[in-house]
Amino acid sequence: MSAFITSGSFSSQLLYRPEPFSKTLNCSKFVFRRPLTKPPLVTFPGRNSKEAGRCFFMTTTVPRKEGVTKENLEFDTKCFQKERVWLVDGYEYIVRGGRDVFKALPKAFQKVKQVGVIGWGSQGPAQAQNLRDTFESCGLPITVKVGLRSGSRSMQEARKAGFSEEKGTLGEMLDVIAESDLVLLLISDAATVENYEAIMKAMKPGATLGLSHGFLLGYLDSIGKKFRSDINVILVAPKGMGPSVRRLYIQGKQLNGAGINSSFAVEQDVDGRATDLAIGWAIAIGSPFTFQTTMRNEYRSDIFGERGILLGAVHGIVECLFRRYLWENVSEKQAFVNACESITGPISKKISKKGIRAVYDELHEDEKQVFARAYCASYLPAYDILIECYEDVESGNEIKSVLQACKRHQKIPMGKIDTTRMWQVGKQVRETRDEAKIPIVPFSAGVYIAAMMAQIDILMEKGHPVSEIVNESVIESVDSLNPYMHARGVSYMVDNCSTTARLGARKWAPRFDYNISQQAFPAIDNKEPLDMSKLDAFLSHPIHSAVLECAKLRPSVDISLSGTTSEDFARYWL
C-alpha cells in the first residue's frame, strides 16, 4: 500500500480504498481525514503527493484488515503499573516486570493457595521451577504442584527438579487439577484436546484455567464449543521455548530484568481478577515486559509464526542456501558458515540490537546490491507459502493436521532433522568457531529478511497488534530461538519446542526450501527482471520504528548458551 503523510498536519484516521489485491502487492491507497496528534517515529523521503502541502511517501506491503484494535487492547490493572508505547499507528500498553516488581505479586495472587502445573514438556519444567523460585523469594505461601499422568516417565524428571509426592508438590494430573486454584495446562496440544472434557469436569468452580498457547480455543472454535462459564480463562504466552524461559530466569537472578517477554490474554473473567492474575503469572515466570493480545490472535500468530520465520522458514532457508553455496564451489564448511552461521550469528545479533533495516544499512554499496536482488527475488516465494500457512491456521485446517499427525505418530515416530551432511558439517564448524570471523553474508541476509518481512506483512494484513507482530516475527526469532540453532544445530532449536511446533517445522520447512530454490534462485541466476519496488517497500516500512521501540523491551541480557542440555536447561532428543 502507499500512504501520503502531510508534514504540516498529520492524521490518525485513514480511509482505505482497496484495489484488487491480485494486481500488485503495492496498490492500495490511504488518505488522511483528520490531523494526527503525534507524527510518525520515522521520516521517509518524499516522492510525490496528491494532497496539498509537503508530504512524505511511505510504503508498506499489505493493508491492515479487521482484527484486534488499539481500543479493545485497553486493560485495567489494580496491582501493576502499565506503560503506554507508540507503535506504528497508535498506542499499546505494556507492563514492566523484574524482581523489583515481585512485591506486587501477593495482591495479584491473593486468593491462590495452589498453582497446578500440568505437564512436563517444553514449558512445564521452566514455568513450574520459575514460579516456585519466585514464590519462595517473595515469601508467598503458595504451593506449586506438578500434575502428570500416573506412571509418566516425566515423574522422575520432575523429582530431579525438586518436586515430589512427599513434599506435596507432585501428583496425578486430574487430582492436581481438582485441588488447584490456578491450573496451568502445559501438556501437549493433542493431549489437551484429548483430555479437555475430563479437565473441565475436574476443575472446581471459580478456579482459573491458564494456557500458554491458544490451541485449545482454536479446537473449540472448530467444533463449536466454549469453555465452562464458571471459571476464569487466561493466557500467558512466553515469546520463547521453555528452556529459554528457564535459562534467562536463572540469568535474571544476577541481573534484574533478564527473562522472556510474554503476551497475555483474558478470554473469560468471572470474578474481576483475571487480568491481574495473568499479568502476575507472566511476571512471576520472569517476563521483563508483558503485552496484551487476544487468545484467538495468539494461537493464530503462534502456530503460524513457528511454521514461518521462527522455525520452519529459517530451517528451509538455511538448507537451500547451503546447497546453493556448494553449487558455487565453496567448501562445505564455508557453505555452512555462509548459509547458517551468518543468519544465526551476526545477522540475528544485528537485528536484535539495531533493528532489521540496520542489516542492510551497514552493508557496503556492492553488498547492498546483492542483498536487494536476493530480497526482491525471495519475497513473493516466501509470501506465497506464508499466506497459505496463515489461512490454514485461520480455517482450523492446521489444527486438524496437528491432531492427525499425533495419532499417526503412535505408529510412526517423529523423524530426526539433523542427520544430513549439512548438519554434520555444522558440528565441525562449531568446534572451531570464531564468532568474530563470522561474516554478514548479504545474499543470505536478503533471503532471510525477505521471509521475515513477508511474515510481518501478513500479520499486519490480518490485524494483529504491532507488539505481537514484532515479538512473534523478530524478537522471539533472534533473541530466543536462533541462539539454540547457533549453539548446536537445527534440532536443538526445533526439538526443544512444543510438539505442535516440531510438527509444523517439519511440515513447512521443505515448502520454503522448494519455493525459494525453484523460484527465487533461478530468477537471480537467469538475470530475470525483478520487482525492485519490494526493496523500497522494505526500506520505508513502518515496522522498523516499532522494532526499534520494542527492542527497548528486549531482555536486559543476551541468552547465554553452552550447547549442553543441562547447562541450557534444555530437553533434547539425542
Any idea which residues carry the catalytic annotation?
A: 213
Which residues contact residue 411 at a Cβ distance below 8 angstroms, ignoring those fewer than 6 apart? none
Q: What is the DSSP letter of 293?
A: -
d(CA 547, CA 60): 15
HSE (CB half, 13 Å, CA atoms) of 145? 28
> From the centroid of its chain, how far is CA 431?
29
**Long-range CB pairs of 383-387, under 8 A, 24+ apart, other chains included:** 383/25, 383/454, 383/457, 383/458, 384/515, 385/313, 385/508, 385/511, 385/512, 385/515, 386/304, 386/308, 386/313, 386/451, 386/454, 386/455, 386/458, 387/458
Give the C-alpha separation, 85 to 548, whole Å: 12
Q: Which residues, other chains included, contact 168 with Cβ-Cβ below 8 Å and sequence gap of 6+? A: 143, 145
Distances (CA, A) of 379 to 79, 223, 376, 383, 512: 44, 35, 6, 6, 11
Asked if 345 and 436 touch (Cβ cutoff 8 Å), the reply is: no
Rounded distance between C-alpha atoms, residue 275 and residue 233, angstroms: 10
| Nearest CA among 18, 245, 59, 262 for reference residue 134 | 245
Give the residues across from 6 on adjacent strands. Answer: 55
* Nearest CA-CA partner of 3 in 43, 60, 41: 60
Tell me the one-letter amino acid at 409: H
Q: Which of 122, 36, 87, 86 is nearest to 492 (CA)?
A: 122
- For CA atoms 276, 279, 285, 288, the dihedral sign is negative
Our CA angle for 73, 76, 78, nearest 5°, is: 155
Burial of 34 (0-12, 13-18, 19+ CB in 10 A): exposed
Return the C-alpha torsion angle 434, 435, 437, 441, nearest 10: 130
| DSSP secondary structure code for residue 228 in this structure | -
Radius of gyration of the chain, Cα coordinates, nearest whole angstrom: 23
Here the cell at position 68 is: 484486534
8 A C-beta contact, residue 281 and residue 259: no
Inter-residue contact 7 to 54 (CB < 8 Å): yes
Report the Cα–Cα distance between both ends of the chain, in Å, rounded: 47
Sheet containing strand 14-17, strands side by side: 14-17, 29-32, 2-6, 55-59
Task: Please name every residue paired with 236 in a beta bridge, in sequence order, or none if there are none.
Answer: 264
**Within 10 Å of residue 45's Cβ, how many Cβ atoms?**
10
Instruction: Enumerate the known binding-site residues for Mg(2+).
Output: 302, 306
